[in-house]
Each structure stands twice: as structure tokens, then as C-alpha cells.
Amino acid sequence: MKRKYRIFILILIVIESFSIVSFVNCFSYKLISLNTNQKEYYIDDIIKINASWELIYNDNNEIAYTQIHIIDKFNQFIWNSSKYNQIGTFEKNWTVNIKDLNLDIDNGSYILYVKFFLYYCLKETGGVMNSYLESIEIKVMKRNISCELVGYREQIKIGESLSLLIKFYDEAYDINQYLINQNILFMISFDDFIIHQSNYTTNMSGVINIHLNSLTQLRLGQNFLIFSMIDNKVYNDSKFIFEIQVDKNNLMIDVLNFSNNLEKGEDLKIKLHCYYYLNQSNIDLANKTLLIKIFNNQSLAFVNSYKTDQYGFLEASISQNSFNFPNNSHDFIIQICFNETTYLDNKVLTLNLNLAQDYYSQLLASFYTKVFSFISVLIIILVFLSYVIINKRSKNEKLLTELIIRY
């Protein structure tokens, strides 16, 4: 009887063992959650991944594990976590520095996929199962920069200089985050040609300093200042263009002495001061030639060149005979002309000269005076002669009367 009990108990143990083995061989899994801290990243950010899962299998005759993969847009593995084959329920966190992924990102964005991977294999039969239980799409972008110029002017005069302070900062931040130790390519373009090129590196304040001389580095007309950041792993290729118009200076001519009321035969005298502005200072037009032209009723009556002294003064004395002054003229125009140079534009100063009209008026007044004097004298003479004739007639009449009475 005892032997029967022993056999029965042994059978129960065997049956129970098969039941346990059957239970353990029942492979099961469950992904509870898969998350990333955000969906869009800059290339210098860190991806934070969180996942929780449940995995049950018999490690005696089965192989199973979970793993996190990051796959690029070409379905290539660029990062993966360790393999986790523990049985039970687990939660893990991972941090991935995007810089370490060595992504080749042009301007724009790069798509990546964070995937939860499950692997299972039955040792005896070799049956294999692997799949991605869940996938999260994330976007990686380069940063954008902004550029600010201090000391910049859109229009300058030839000969002037500019000291520029150029600041580069990350526009993603509310407070300017200046870019340190970044390579900047600086170019000057004129008429679609690059006339100057140099490289700079931003200092610890994210700034580069550039001194521009309009004579040696710029051209007359429209110039373009171009600042570029290229082949940068963190920031998008950026180009900032600023226009500078370079013009010639305007000559200033102050008339210090000029009179349009001249006596007959009196010389025309003109005194001028010529100068221009450069770098906020007055520069005298020293030892430069100007033409003085005199027009009579739009016909050129006189032209001659005169030279300024070392202080920019010009004095001219012109005889009336040298421009054939006619008595009947009423319209004289004087032009002081300067032809352009490297620094200065053309300049024409016009003065009106009315001496012909004044002289004619003087002649006419003199004529009227003489005529009036002549008429006055003539009237006096006529009055005197009339008086004499009247007296003679009176005496003759008296004599005739006395003769008649006597006789």
C-alpha cells in the first residue's frame, strides 16, 4: 500500500513539473510606455528616452531581450542601448547626445526614429522572432543665427572710414546668446565681383571688429558687405548682406566778396572759399583749379582758370574789357565750375551780374539830366529875348505917339 502511495505521489510530481515547464515556456511581453522628452531637437541638444516593459520567458530553453534603437532616414542604425534580458517588469532611462551621432545635416532638418526592439529565440527549434513594438519620430535641426552691425551706415562719402562691430547670436533665445569662437567669412561685392575677402573668428563676446577704408576696400557706387557662416555643424549656413553706397563728396563754395554794382571801367572782383566735408571735418580745397565763365545772353563772353591757395581761397579780378561789356546788355551770368576728382563731384556755382542794366540806367539818367539842363537854358534864353523884344516894341510905340501929337 505504501508503495502505491509512493508511485502516485511521484506521478503527481511529474505531472506538476510538466505543468510548471509548460507555464514557463509560455513566452509573453508587454510594452508599457516609450517616451522622449520632446519631438524636435537642435543638433547640440540631448535626447532623453524613457521606456517601461514586461518580459517573461524561460531562460533555460529560450532567449529574449529588449533594446532601444535610433535609426536614421536611411533605415541605418546610428545608436542602440544595451540589451535587457531580465525577466519581469522594468523601467529605464537613456540620454543620447546628438553631437555623438555624427549626423550630416544640411540647412533644414533631419528625421530620426526612436524604436523599442524585442528579440525572441527558442533554443531547441531555432525559431526567431524580432520586431519593433513602437516607434517615435523626432526631428533634429541646426540652429539659426542673427547678425547685428554697430557703426553701420548705408551711405558714405569716398575717403571716409567705417569701424564696424559685428555681433552674431543664436536667435532661439529670448536673451541674445552670442556665438563664441565661430569662423566667419567676410566678403565685399561690387558689380557682381568679389573685391575683398577675409576670415574672422568671433571673440569671447561673439563679436568681430572690421575697419573699412572706402578708398582701398570699397568702390564708388553700390557695394555689398557679406558675412557668412558655412560648414558649421551646429548652425545653419547663414549669409547676411548689407548695402553701402559710396558717393563722391560735394564741394562747398562760400562767396566772400562779390559785387554786381560796378562803375564804368571798374574790375569785377570775386573772392571764394572752397572746401568739403570728410570724416566729420572741413577739408580745404588746396591748390585746385576752377573755371570762371561769364555769359552774356547765354553766349560765352569770358572764360579763364584760377587756382585756390593752400587754404582753399580763390581771388579773381576781371576787367570789364576782357568780356566785351556792351552798353545795351541786361543779362550777365557768372559760373564758377569745378571738374570732378577722386574725392569730389562736379560743382557749378552760378551768380547773377546786373551791372549792364545799372550802367545803362546811369547813362540814361545822365542823358536826361543833360537834356533837362539844355531845355532849361533854352527856356531862360527865350524868356529873356521875349522880354527884350517886348521892351523894344513898347518904346517904339511911345515914340510914334509923341511924333503924332507933335505934328
Same domain for 268 and 221: no
Residue 153's pLDDT is what? 94
User: Residue 378: pLDDT band by 50, 70, 90 thresholds?
Assistant: confident
Same domain, 48 and 66: yes
Q: Between these two residues, 382 and 25, which has the higher pLDDT value?
A: 382
Residue 73 DSSP label: T
> Residue 72 falls within a domain, yes or no?
yes
CA 35 to mean position of chain CA atoms = 46
pLDDT surpassing 90 at residue 323: no
Q: Is the pLDDT at 353 greater than 80, yes or no?
A: no
Co-location of 207 and 176 in the same domain = yes
- Residues listed for the chain: 407
Of 105, 120, 141, which residue constitutes the final position of a domain?
Answer: 141
Any long-range contacts for 237-242 (C-beta under 8 Å, 24+ apart)? 237/106, 237/107, 238/144, 238/145, 238/147, 240/147, 242/149, 242/152
- Residue 128 sits in a domain whose CATH number is 2.60.40.2550
> Same structural domain for residues 36 and 118?
yes
pLDDT of residue 11: 42
Q: Check pLDDT > 90 for residue 96.
A: yes
d(CA 211, CA 289): 33
CA distance readout (Å), 69 to 53, 59, 88? 15, 23, 21
In a domain, 155, yes or no: yes
User: According to the model, what pLDDT value does residue 341 have?
Assistant: 86
Give the cell for residue 104.
550630416
- For residues 159 and 242, state if they share a domain: yes
State which of 219, 247, 275 marks the end of a domain. 247
Q: Are residues 57 and 133 in the same domain?
A: yes
pLDDT at 370 (0 to 100): 67
* DSSP states along 115-135: EEEEEEEETTT--EEEEEEEE
Position 256 in a domain = yes
DSSP state of 12: H
Q: What is the mean pLDDT of the chain?
A: 83
Question: Which of these three, 247, 263, 291, is where a domain ends?
Answer: 247
| Any domain includes 10 | no
Query: Which percentage of the chain shows pLDDT scores above 70?
Result: 80
Are the beta carbons of 61 and 52 closer than 8 angstroms?
no
Which neighbouring-strand residues pair with 284?
A: 275
pLDDT of residue 291: 93
Count of structural domains, the chain: 4
pLDDT of residue 407: 46
386 has pLDDT over 90: no
Q: Is the pLDDT of residue 48 over 60?
A: yes
- Could you tell me if residue 2 is inside a domain? no
pLDDT digits (tens, 9 = 90+) for 150-181: 999 999 999 899 999 999 988 777 666 788 89
Report if residue 12 sits inside a domain. Answer: no
Stretch among 13-22, 37-46, 76-85, 335-344 having the lowest mean pLDDT: 13-22
State how far the alpha carbon of 349 is from the alpha carbons of 68, 249, 261, in Å.
Answer: 84, 16, 19
Tell me which of 39-48, 221-230, 343-352, 354-363 is least confident. Answer: 354-363
Could you give the percent of the chain with pLDDT greater than 90?
51
Residues 42 and 109 in one domain: yes
- Examine the pLDDT at 1 and tell me if it is beyond 50: no
Give residue-wise pLDDT tens across range 184-234. 999 999 999 999 999 999 998 889 999 999 989 999 999 999 999 888 888
pLDDT of residue 24 exceeding 50, the answer is no
Closest C-alpha among 157, 155, 349 to residue 248: 157
Print burial letters for 220-254: b (CB count within 10 Å at least 16), e (below 16). eeebebbbebeebebbbebebebebebebbebbbe
Q: Is residue 19 part of a domain?
A: no
Residues 272 and 227 placed together within one structural domain of the fold: no
- Local confidence band at 395 (pLDDT 50, 70, 90 cut-offs): low
Residues β-bridged to residue 97:
46
| 81/185 same-domain check | no
Enter the C-alpha cell of residue 308.
585756390
pLDDT of residue 400: 44
CATH of residue 261's domain is 2.60.40.10
Which of 3-7, 223-227, 265-269, 322-326 has the weakest average pLDDT? 3-7
Pairing of strands 281-284, 268-278: antiparallel
- DSSP secondary structure, 242-292, as one string: EEEEEEPBPPEEEEEEE-S---TTPPEEEEEEEEEEETTEEEE-TT-EEEE
Please give the average per-residue pLDDT across 63-78, as a whole number. Answer: 93
* Three-class DSSP category at 136: strand
Question: Residue 372 and residue 278: Cα distance in Å, rounded?
Answer: 62
Domain shared by 300 and 389, yes or no: no
18 in a domain, yes or no?
Answer: no
Residues 222 and 328 in one domain: no
User: Residue 396 is part of which domain span?
Assistant: 370-407
Mean pLDDT confidence for 40-57? 95
